[in-house]
Structure 1
Amino acid sequence: MDNYIIGIGKRIKEIRKQNQQTISELAQKAEVSGGLISRIENGRTVPSLPVLFKIIASLDVEVTDFFKAMPHMNGSPFLVSRKADHSVIEKEDEAVGFTYEYIFGKQLSAQGFETVLLTVSPDSKRDQVITDAFEFKYVLSGECVYQIDQEEVLVCEGDSIFFDGRIPHVPINRSKTPCRMLVIYFFM
């Protein structure tokens, strides 16, 4: 089994023990079975993405902190994506003021993820979109409003937002400066 997948289970167990939680307590809080938690921790099964995020939330840890301390991946302690290798992603729609740069992607068992830098210009125009992924966005500079269905959420430098991309959404930059953010798509 992939070292990274096993690492997810080890990381869950590590945080659970730091929190002095039993498997049963974590399972109850995450609304899953204790047997599932045990199988995940021992690297015998891989949780679906929604279940993984429920477990992470039940551990009272931020998603970024959970993955920041992940162990080795594919026999290496890290994966590097060099700036010189980034490329601009061409989108089909006619969005004005949006630039997507491909940073990194990796297939983890059946779950894929992709990381991009998104710059939303003050003059940007776009309709709401739908993606077949959960989206995690970290604002590197500037600010924008995320319209998710009918709700609006202001995110500023240092803020992050995570949501189900199957809900119509769009970032709107109402400021006078570009908003730059790191975006991680977790494909289902």
Structure 2
Amino acid sequence: MEQEVIVQISNKLKHIRKEKSLTLQEVADRAGVTKGLISQIENGRTIPSLLVLIQIIKALEEDLDEFFRELSLHTNQAPILIQRKENYERFEKETASGYIYHRIFTKKVKESTVDIVLLDVEPGSDREFAETEAFEYKYIIKGDVNYVFPDETIQLNEGDSMLFDGRIPHKPFNPGDETCKMLVVYFFEGKS
């Protein structure tokens, strides 16, 4: 399954759950899975089996045909893609507070997928180390941030950028007084 379709599914699951004012735990209980699994699926950190996906859709009391009807499963793309700021989709990647992501684009590029997001890291925000199955490019638009790795901490200031293998455990920490805004580009390798 292509990464952009996975993102569409995870976003749709989260949207429906929030629209129905259901908690992660309520959906997990109804679907017979763990709260952590629902969170990982909604945040695109894991791909559910077809059986689990169907259980979750049913737990949300959604019609299967209706759920899949609106997904864009085609990879033919226009040569120029425009996404207006007001249409950026806000989403959560982790349960830690103070991290606000805005997805700009997720599109398949030949055999790879590129996911482009804006990340606001609020002052004092901290979280557990994370890993991503992608190369990550960070560009600091405004403010400062420390990127903490197991063996070193790298300070990035406005205008700085960094590219690294997201499989290295990492976390951003904002030691300043103002929100740090950064552009994040994830490069997912194609599967053959």
Give the alignment's TM-score, normalised by structure 2: 0.56
Residue 89 of structure 1 corresponds to 91
Residue 184 of structure 1 corresponds to 185
Deviation, 1:150, is 1.9
Runs of 4+ in 1 over 6 A off after TM superposition: none
CA distance in 1, matches of 2:133, 2:119: 18
Q: In the alignment, is the contact (CA less than 8 A) between 1:120 and 1:173 conserved in 2?
A: yes
Q: In the alignment, is the contact (CA less than 8 A) between 2:119 and 2:182 conserved in 1?
A: yes
Considering only aligned residues, what root-mean-square deviation do their CA atoms show, in Å?
1.5
CA distance in 1, matches of 2:148, 2:90: 24
Cα-to-partner distance string for 1:100-152 (whole Å, 9 max, x where unaligned): 11111110122001000000001212011000000000000000111122211
Q: Which one has a larger percent strand, Structure 1 or Structure 2? A: 1
Residue 137 of structure 1 corresponds to 138
Q: In the alignment, is the contact (CA less than 8 A) between 1:97 and 1:120 conserved in 2?
A: yes
1:114 aligns with 2:110: no
Q: Which amino acid aligns with 1:95?
A: A
Q: Which amino acid aligns with 1:133?
A: A
CA distance in 1, matches of 2:187, 2:148: 20
Q: Which runs of 5+ in 2 are unaligned?
A: 1-75
Cα-to-partner distance string for 1:126-184 (whole Å, 9 max, x where unaligned): 01100000000000000011112221111000000100000000011001111000000
Residue 80 of structure 1 corresponds to 82
Residue 100 of structure 2 corresponds to 99
CA distance in 1, matches of 2:175, 2:124: 8
Q: In the alignment, is the contact (CA less than 8 A) between 1:96 and 1:123 conserved in 2?
A: no
SS in 1 for 2:124: strand
Q: In the alignment, is the contact (CA less than 8 A) between 1:173 and 1:179 conserved in 2?
A: yes
Deviation, 1:85, is 1.3
SS in 1 for 2:86: helix
Q: Which amino acid aligns with 1:105?
A: T
Residue 127 of structure 2 corresponds to 126
Superposed, which structure 2 residues align to 1:8-23 within 5 Å?
none
Deviation, 1:94, is 1.7
CA distance in 2, matches of 1:184, 1:99: 15
SS in 2 for 1:163: strand
Number of aligned positions between the proteins: 114
